Structure formats: C-alpha cells, structure tokens
Amino acid sequence: QSAIRYNEKALSLQESVKGQAHGDTVIHLLNLAHAKSKIGKTGEALSLYQKALARANESSPQNQLRLCECYGELANFYRLQKQYVKAEDNYKKALEHYQHLSKREKRGLYSLPHSYSVMLQELKRNEDSHHVAHEYLHVFKPHQKSNSQKDDQP
C-alpha cells in the first residue's frame, strides 16, 4: 500500500509540474499501474495502463520511447493475465516503436523483445521466438561445424 501511496503522490506532483502528457508523467502512471497490478487490483491497473498509453499518444511530437514503454507494459500485463492474443498484439505495437529508438534507448528496453520471445517459447512457438530473438536481440543460432571440422574430431 505504501508503494501505491508513493506513486499516487509522485503522479500528482508530476501532473501539476509538467502536465498530463509529459513523458515523466506517463512513467509515473505506468509505475502506479504496476504497483496496483502487483497487489491484485488488475482492473485499476489496466485502466491506468490505458490512460498512460492515451497520454503518450497525446504528446506532440509523439514520444516513441514512451509509446514503446506503454505498449510493452500493457503486453506484460496481459501476459501475466494469460491473455496471450492481447499480449502479442501489444508486443508487436511496442516493437513498431522500438525500431525507431536510438541504440541507447533500446538498451534501456532490452527486456521488451526478450519478454516477447520468452512468451512465444512458452506458447511452443519456437520458430517465432527465434525470429524475434534474431531480429531484435541479435541472437544467432550456434555456429555449425563444417564437414572438414567434423572429420577432424575423434
């Protein structure tokens, strides 16, 4: 409960200082949503996640980083609720914005494509999981030994 009170106060302060659509305010909405989700208030959490996304969409120009974070957090929320279709839709939307981020911003969101890849593995969609890992995480299949290297082994 103290985490929720802290996040509510921080959100209120951010809204009054920087405005509702500011990127920092969106982060505080996401933090509050996460705190509510952790204690089982999933309805309130979902509402806050959606509010954060709406505010991120209102910013001008659009903040790709905040949109990516919002869709990613929604995806993680739905994944935990075992709503995999909604989770996947949001992961895909997050990755659309992820592609427009700088390398530095991507490093801060490394868990996004990783979480999506893990979910795909959990769903036994290994080929899709490998594709996500290869495209976004730069994970490659293990090096295959050539025939000459195989012949050299005892």
- Residue 152's pLDDT is 47
pTM: 0.83
- What percent of the chain shows pLDDT beyond 70? 88
Which whole-number Å values give the CA distances from 4 to 48, 53, 85, 88, 126, in the listed order?
A: 12, 19, 29, 28, 38
The mean pLDDT value of the chain amounts to: 86
> Can you list the alpha helix ranges (DSSP code H) found in 19-82?
23-38, 42-58, 64-80
- How far apart (Å, rounded) are the C-alpha atoms in residues 72 and 37? 15
Summarize the confidence of residues 6-19 as an average pLDDT: 84
Summarize the confidence of residues 64-78 as an average pLDDT: 95
Q: When comparing pLDDT for 105 and 145, which is higher?
A: 105
Summarize the confidence of residues 97-114 as an average pLDDT: 91
At residue 154 the predicted structure's pLDDT band, cuts being 50, 70 and 90, is very low
Contacts 24+ apart (CB under 8 A), 84-87: 84/119, 84/123, 87/119
At residue 60 the predicted structure's pLDDT band, cuts being 50, 70 and 90, is low
The token pair that represents 102 in the structure block? 């700088």
